[in-house]
A and B are shown apart, each in its own frame.
Chain A
Amino acid sequence: KNQVEQSPQSLIILEGKNCTLQCNYTVSPFSNLRWYKQDTGRGPVSLTIMTFSENTKSNGRYTATLDADTKQSSLHITASQLSDSASYICVVRGDTGFQKLVFGTGTRLLVSP
């Protein structure tokens, strides 16, 4: 069964600190993996997209890594800001020919002052 598991479920960090969120998946075949940020009351917004051949990709203070052999990805947030408080969702697209995606349940991050 195609699954995406994220950890931790929730996380609280102090403003300015770094953190790393984890994503493990069993989706096969694999096409790409995205990290989304979802602010409360809003729809998810894409942060990064990674394909099979990419190991790391950065978007400002966000850096995503992908190990396609172990089927693991991580999202590292550097120098966190209060506005980083949100849910971070890992989404994997399988090569099914459709646009359906497999969503993780997300990590809820709270950055406190």
Chain B
Amino acid sequence: GAGVSQSPSNKVTEKGKDVELRCDPISGHTALYWYRQSLGQGLEFLIYFQGNSAPDKSGLPSDRFSAERTGGSVSTLTIQRTQQEDSAVYLCASSLAVAGSSYEQYFGPGTRLTVT
């Protein structure tokens, strides 16, 4: 079946502009995660959605970052007033958050964001 897809694959934007990144999780996966991977750094957790529960936003670095998940499927990550330090690869993952499962996260290919 289809894996996690993300769009766009690459995004170049000017400092101060807003950007939207999209994630299509694997069908049937109830959990969805956003991560940021900066050059030379490990993946940094941003936000986690699980079913209809309130999302865990504890990883969002500032109020310029927000995310939503509509209909329990597609998610968009929005960065307002982008800064150069926002340049990174943004990875989305989904998993079957079912009791007894291995909770493996399946990752998308990422969106490479460059803020000039």
Contact = CB atoms under 8 A, between A and B. Distances in A.
Contact of A99 (B97, B107, B108): B97
Interface of B: 4, 31, 33, 35, 40-45, 48, 50, 56, 59, 91, 93, 95, 97, 102-110
What are the 6 tightest A-B residue pairs by CB atom distance, in nearest-first order?
A43-B107, A103-B42, A103-B43, A105-B42, A44-B107, A100-B45
A46 B104 contact: yes
A58 B97 CA distance: 25
Most buried by B among A45, A49, A98, A104: A98
Nearest to B44: A103
Contacts of B45: 100-101
Interface in A1-46: 4, 34, 41-46
Contacts of A99: 31, 33, 48, 50, 95, 97, 103, 105
Nearest to B102: A49
Nearest to A9: B40
Nearest to B110: A43
B31 A106 contact: no
Contacts of A49: 102, 104
A34 B107 CA distance: 14
Given A34-B104, A43-B107, A44-B107, 13 more contacts: A41-B110, A43-B4, A43-B91, A45-B107, A46-B104, A98-B48, A99-B31, A99-B48, A99-B50, A100-B59, A101-B45, A103-B43, A105-B40
A4 B42 CA distance: 9
Interface in A91-113: 93, 98-101, 103-106
A98 to B, nearest CB: 6
Contacts of A77: none
Contact of B42 (A34, A100, A106): A106
B104 A43 contact: no
A66 interface: no
Contacts of B43: 44, 89, 101, 103
14 contacts: A4-B42, A42-B109, A42-B110, A43-B91, A43-B93, A43-B108, A44-B43, A44-B107, A45-B107, A46-B105, A89-B43, A99-B33, A105-B41, A106-B42
